[in-house]
């Protein structure tokens, strides 16, 4: 593999690894190939449980990381109805909420409500900064975290499969949209509660996960 010192790399992030963990591993490989320390960053984090497209910027391209983050994104997500998680994902404390079983028609009607511009509150367990401190750090310390509502755009939201309690969707969203929060809000609208059990980023603008390398392809034993 030719050493890269500037540009972008598309990685299909595996589950169970942080985005920063991917960055660190790729940085070590590139720095070893180049014989010098190579600067590497990511252009929009993925939660540890999530998989899919992670765009890494290398060298001089790191100055453009913010521009990549502003692009729309396409996700596939699975939500589990009837329960809620303190983090909105499998890593939190899960609580039973309801044994209500919505019909497919009810699910489709609710999903239609989440189209266009919507108000969304990001999860308290997120990388957003509050007074310079990551929200998840405050939440883990048991401190009260107040994150204001934000306007995001759901360009499309399609039901892929529904077999209670699992609900799978594909959604094209604007930058800044939290799929975990979307799942929580859908669960509330259904009256069942919900949390995200699987999340995969399929694309960012014109870059797709089908064009991405795995860490193994990149020469990294994950």
CATH code: domain of residue 102: 3.30.2350.10
The pLDDT of residue 118 is above 60: yes
Measured in degrees and rounded to the nearest 5, phi and psi for residue 68 equal: -65, -35
- 100 and 177, same domain (yes or no): yes
Q: Mean pLDDT across the chain, nearest whole number?
A: 90
State how far the Cα of 182 lies from the Cα of 196, in Å rounded to an integer: 9
12, 47, 89, 185: which is the annotated catalytic residue? 47
DSSP assignment of 49-89 equals: T-EEEEEEEEGGGGGGHHHHHTS-EEEEEEEEETEEESSSS
- 184 and 91, same domain (yes or no): yes
Does residue 139 lie in a domain region?
A: yes
- 39 and 125, same domain (yes or no): no
State how far the Cα of 88 lies from the Cα of 94, in Å rounded to an integer: 9
Does residue 89 lie in a domain region?
A: yes
Q: Cα–chain-centroid distance for residue 65?
A: 17
**Would residue 6 show up in a list of annotated catalytic residues for this protein?**
no
- 84 and 65, same domain (yes or no): no
- 97 and 36, same domain (yes or no): no
Does residue 217 lie in a domain region?
A: no
pLDDT in tens, 28-56: 999 998 999 999 999 989 999 999 999 99
- 89 and 167, same domain (yes or no): yes
- pTM beyond 0.75: the answer is yes
Rounded mean pLDDT of 201-213?
Answer: 97
- 54 and 80, same domain (yes or no): no
Domain residues for the domain of 66 are 7-70+206-211
Contact 48, 16 (CB under 8 A): yes
The pLDDT of residue 1 is above 50: no
Partners of residue 81 on adjacent β-strands: 194
State how far the Cα of 141 lies from the Cα of 221, in Å rounded to an integer: 33
Contact 79, 183 (CB under 8 A): yes
- 113 and 66, same domain (yes or no): no
Give me the number of domains the chain comprises. 2
Quick one: pLDDT at residue 134? 63
pLDDT in tens, 68-104: 999 999 999 999 999 999 999 999 999 999 999 999 9
- 177 and 131, same domain (yes or no): yes
- 36 and 96, same domain (yes or no): no
State how far the Cα of 125 lies from the Cα of 93, in Å rounded to an integer: 12
Neighbours of 217 (CB within 10 A): 11
Does residue 134 lie in a domain region?
A: yes
- 122 and 169, same domain (yes or no): yes
Token pair 């939201």: residue? 157
Does residue 176 lie in a domain region?
A: yes
- 85 and 169, same domain (yes or no): yes
State how far the Cα of 140 lies from the Cα of 168, in Å rounded to an integer: 29
Does residue 2 lie in a domain region?
A: no
State how far the Cα of 96 lies from the Cα of 81, in Å rounded to an integer: 9
Quick one: pLDDT at residue 141? 60
pLDDT in tens, 16-27: 999 999 999 999
Does residue 222 lie in a domain region?
A: no
Name the band, by pLDDT with cuts 50, 70 and 90, for residue 218. Answer: confident
Contact 209, 55 (CB under 8 A): no
């Amino acid at each position: 593999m030719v050493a890269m010192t500037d540009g972008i790399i598309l990685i299909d992030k595996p589950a169970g690894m942080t985005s920063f963990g991917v960055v660190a591993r790729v940085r070590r490989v590139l720095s070893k190939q180049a014989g010098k320390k190579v600067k590497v960053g990511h252009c929009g984090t993925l939660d540890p449980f999530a998989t899919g497209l992670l765009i890494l910027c290398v060298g001089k391209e790191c100055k453009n990381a913010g521009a990549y983050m502003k692009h729309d994104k396409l996700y596939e997500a699975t939500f589990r109805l009837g329960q809620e998680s303190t983090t909105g994902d499998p890593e939190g404390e899960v609580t039973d909420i309801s044994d209500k079983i919505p019909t497919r028609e009810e699910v489709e009607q609710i999903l239609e409500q989440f189209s266009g511009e919507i108000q969304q509150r990001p999860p308290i367990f997120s990388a957003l900064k509050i007074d310079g401190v990551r929200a998840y750090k405050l939440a883990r310390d048991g401190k009260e975290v107040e994150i204001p509502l934000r306007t995001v755009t759901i360009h499309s939201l399609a039901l892929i499969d529904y077999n209670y309690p699992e609900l799978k969707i594909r959604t094209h969203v604007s930058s800044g949209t939290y799929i975990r929060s979307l799942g929580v809000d859908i669960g509330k609208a259904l009256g069942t509660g919900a949390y995200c059990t699987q999340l995969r980023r399929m694309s960012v603008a014109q870059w797709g996960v089908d064009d991405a390398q795995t860490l193994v392809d990149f020469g990294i034993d994950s």
